[in-house]
């Protein structure tokens, strides 16, 4: 069957399963469903596989998981692939995903340039009717949402943006043809993981660079390396190990408090800092995210390390404040290679938006409240995403009795295990909210959840069940657990996307499971071992 024919047949004959999204989780999920022998297909709004890696093509985009961790654990796959850098670039990740396709032939089962706009559950037929933006209706028994966490970019309203005569792009909507920064006056709004990657690239080539910062980001040295990765013979051990750590990475929390452990603490901090990557965060003392004093220790170490690299005295307090802007680790940290050195350059300016907010965008650039017009040729909008729920709310998902999914989630996410939702039978969510998701290593969580979905469908097949749904009680209980566990930490003190607080009007709540990946696995396993407690089959 050709790519263009991938889902045609299902107009008359329902598919067994339709996967929405061809990112890291969608590729894995579709291949697994097909291995089970199901007639499963996929649809993807973009024109190729890759998900966020396809759409985030801004300069400098690269992953912050070690290469050995950021790949699938399938046998027959890792043996034949070698990333060239410790933290691979976006382009190399796409090459890897094409290698996955060459090996397993997944791409041919996806239909591209096809955006799902509506999905309606037909109760009588126990079938999902999925409508795409080209007017097609695809019928499927199971609907598996692999929308990723960052499928919906967030762009605040900047007054006057339409008048700007230069080029402007959101980082997640960077043009395929590229946008030159060489010799240009470049402005970057936002200093999250995306913004700081662009800033480091712009710093190398731009004539002038103006960074509009609202909150300083917590960064760790990437310690990039082009040396061969860990020997591939230990990959199976790495894949097993990543399932056992709190974050699904290869480093685990120090299982004791930082408070009271003064001499050892310095040694531990030095070692974690020296390792590079996210180790200084993911390998921290286990009280760091729950205890303010422990949190201060980590913050102070970070601050003092970073400050040594900032040479403009007026920027020290702005980039690495004496007092933390929010508790260490409660907003997503990022990796950097030369972020602070960029600000030492004469052609780079930092505008602190707290002191001097943006008034409007003019024909020529950005006008700030102090009356200064920052003249720009290219404006980069690196303001992030409507995380976890944005992709779901963009689709009109209609469940039992005409209930709208976006109404169900209007005052907060409700789910069972982050995989099922009461009132929406036969719909699964992978790498969405209420799971470790964006708090964990992507492939670790995506594989686990996709495996669970397939195990569950297999169980249904064996028992001749055709319909699955979470009970309202189980959903309430899981939702309560997500919130209670989240409230034990310091996360509530940050306006982060972890809690939906970056989007005006969005319910501020814990969007992710904060108790770690092993606890999540345990919860899933307990449900299966109990005979699928909280789940109703017919
Ligand atoms: O988005 P963000 P991102 N006016 O939300 C600022 C993953 N990722 O795209 O902090 C001015 O983190 C906002 O300021 P504040 C990774 O998980 C991974 O950078 O809200 N500024 C912030 O500085 C990451 O965490 C990789 O005060 C405004 C920035 O915009 C996640 O994606 C690479 C504003 C948004 O930062 C999202 O990262 C890239 C406004 N009105 C992304 N509104 C890697 O793997 C927001 N901001 C390395």
pLDDT tens for each residue of 211-228: 999 999 999 999 999 866
Res 162: pLDDT: 98
Res 3: pLDDT: 44
Report the nearest atom of ligand 1 relative to the CA of 438. 17
Res 4: pLDDT: 45
Is there an atom of ligand 1 within 6 Å of 224 CB? Answer: no
pLDDT (average), residues 79-85: 94
Residue 87 has pLDDT above 70, yes or no: yes
CA of 522 from ligand 1 middle (Å) equals 31
pLDDT (average), residues 463-475: 98
Is there an atom of ligand 1 within 6 Å of 438 CB? Answer: yes
Report the nearest atom of ligand 1 relative to the CA of 196. 19
Is there an atom of ligand 1 within 6 Å of 437 CB? Answer: no
Res 62: pLDDT: 98
Res 263: pLDDT: 78
Whose tokens are 């669970």? That residue is 452
> 132: part of which helix (H) or strand (E)?
strand 127-132
Report the nearest atom of ligand 1 relative to the CA of 158. 41
Report the nearest atom of ligand 1 relative to the CA of 495. 20
User: CA–CA separation, 20 vs 45, rounded Å?
Assistant: 9
* pLDDT per position as a tens digit, 473-527: 999 999 999 999 999 999 999 999 999 999 999 999 999 999 999 999 999 999 9
Res 505: pLDDT: 96
Question: pLDDT band for position 261 (50/70/90)?
Answer: confident
Q: Whose C-alpha lies nearest to ligand 1, atom 1?
A: 384
Helix/strand/coil for 398:
strand
- pLDDT, averaged across the chain: 96
User: CA–CA separation, 205 vs 348, rounded Å?
Assistant: 11
Res 13: pLDDT: 86
Q: Whose C-alpha lies nearest to ligand 1, atom 8?
A: 193
Residue 18 has pLDDT above 60, yes or no: yes
Report the nearest atom of ligand 1 relative to the CA of 156. 41
The encoded tokens of residue 219 equal 């960064």
Is there an atom of ligand 1 within 6 Å of 70 CB? Answer: no
Res 11: pLDDT: 56
User: CA–CA separation, 426 vs 252, rounded Å?
Assistant: 35
User: CA–CA separation, 514 vs 245, rounded Å?
Assistant: 13
* pLDDT per position as a tens digit, 374-394: 999 999 999 999 999 999 999
Res 233: pLDDT: 86
Res 229: pLDDT: 62
Least confident of 198-212, 214-228, 334-348: 214-228
Concatenate the DSSP letters of all residues of 507-529 into one string: --S--S--S-HHHHHHHHHHHHH
CA torsion through residues 103, 62, 494, 383, sign: negative
Is there an atom of ligand 1 within 6 Å of 173 CB? Answer: no
Is the separation of the CB atoms in 135 and 9 below 8 Å?
A: no
User: CA–CA separation, 189 vs 382, rounded Å?
Assistant: 6
Select from 69, 89, 149, 193 the residue to mutate for testing ligand 1; criterion: most ligand atoms less than 8 Å from CB: 193
Select from 62, 210, 214 the residue to mutate for testing ligand 1; criterion: most ligand atoms less than 8 Å from CB: 214
pLDDT (average), residues 95-113: 98
Helix/strand/coil for 141:
strand
CA of 369 from ligand 1 middle (Å) equals 23
The encoded tokens of residue 34 equal 């097909």
Res 168: pLDDT: 98
CA of 213 from ligand 1 middle (Å) equals 11
Q: Whose C-alpha lies nearest to ligand 1, atom 13?
A: 190
Nearest to 109 by CA among 232, 4, 196: 4
Is there an atom of ligand 1 within 6 Å of 89 CB? Answer: no
Is there an atom of ligand 1 within 6 Å of 190 CB? Answer: yes
Complex ipTM more than 0.95, yes or no: yes
Its pTM stands at 0.96
Is there an atom of ligand 1 within 6 Å of 353 CB? Answer: yes
pLDDT (average), residues 114-121: 98
């Amino acid at each position: 069957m050709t790519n263009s024919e991938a889902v045609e047949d299902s107009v008359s004959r329902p598919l067994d399963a339709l996967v929405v999204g061809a990112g890291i989780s969608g590729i894995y999920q579709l291949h697994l469903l097909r291995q089970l022998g199901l007639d499963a297909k996929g649809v993807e709004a973009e024109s190729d596989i890759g998900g966020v890696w396809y759409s985030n093509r801004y300069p400098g985009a690269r992953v912050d998981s070690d290469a050995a961790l950021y790949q699938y654990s399938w046998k027959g796959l890792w043996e034949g692939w070698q990333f060239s850098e410790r933290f691979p670039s976006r382009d190399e990740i796409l090459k890897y995903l094409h290698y996955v396709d060459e090996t397993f032939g997944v791409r041919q089962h996806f239909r591209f340039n096809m955006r799902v706009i509506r999905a309606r559950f037909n109760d009588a037929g126990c079938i999902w009717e999925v409508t795409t933006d080209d007017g097609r209706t695809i019928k499927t028994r199971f609907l598996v949402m692999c929308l990723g966490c960052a499928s919906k970019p967030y762009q605040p309203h900047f007054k006057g943006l339409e008048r700007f005569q230069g080029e402007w792009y959101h980082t997640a909507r960077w043009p395929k043809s590229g946008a030159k920064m060489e010799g240009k006056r470049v402005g970057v709004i936002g200093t999250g993981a995306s913004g700081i990657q662009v800033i480091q690239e712009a710093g190398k080539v731009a004539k002038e660079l103006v960074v509009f910062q609202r909150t300083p980001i917590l960064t760790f040295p990437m310690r990039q390396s082009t040396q061969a990765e860990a020997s591939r013979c230990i990959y199976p051990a790495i894949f097993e190990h990543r399932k056992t750590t709190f974050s699904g990475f290869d480093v685990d929390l120090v299982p004791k408090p930082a408070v009271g452990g003064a001499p050892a603490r310095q040694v531990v901090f030095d070692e974690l800092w020296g390792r590079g990557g996210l180790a200084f965060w993911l390998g921290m003392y286990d009280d760091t995210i729950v205890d303010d004093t422990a949190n201060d220790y980590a913050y102070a170490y970070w601050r003092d390390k970073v400050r040594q690299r900032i040479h403009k005295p007026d920027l020290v307090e702005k980039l690495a404040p004496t007092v933390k802007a929010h508790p260490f680790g409660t907003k997503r940290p990022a990796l950097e290679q030369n972020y602070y050195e960029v600000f030492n350059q004469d052609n780079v300016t930092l505008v602190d938006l707290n002191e001097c907010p943006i008034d409007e965008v003019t024909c020529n650039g950005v006008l700030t409240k102090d009356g200064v017009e920052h003249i720009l040729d290219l404006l980069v909008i690196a303001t992030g995403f409507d995380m976890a729920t944005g992709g779901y709310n963009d689709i009109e998902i209609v469940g039992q009795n005409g209930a709208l999914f976006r109404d169900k989630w209007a005052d907060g996410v409700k789910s069972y295990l982050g995989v099922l939702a009461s009132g929406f039978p036969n719909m699964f969510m992978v790498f969405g909210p209420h799971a470790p998701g964006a708090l964990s290593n992507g492939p670790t969580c995506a594989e686990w959840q996709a495996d669970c979905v397939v195990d569950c469908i297999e169980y249904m097949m064996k028992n001749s069940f055709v319909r699955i749904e979470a009970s309202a009680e189980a959903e309430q209980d899981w939702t309560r657990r997500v919130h209670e566990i989240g409230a034990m930490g310091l996360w509530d003190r940050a306006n982060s996307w972890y809690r939906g607080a970056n989007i005006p009007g969005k319910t501020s709540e814990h969007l992710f499971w904060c108790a770690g990946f092993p606890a999540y696995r345990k919860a899933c396993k307990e449900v299966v071992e109990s005979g699928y407690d909280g789940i109703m089959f017919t």
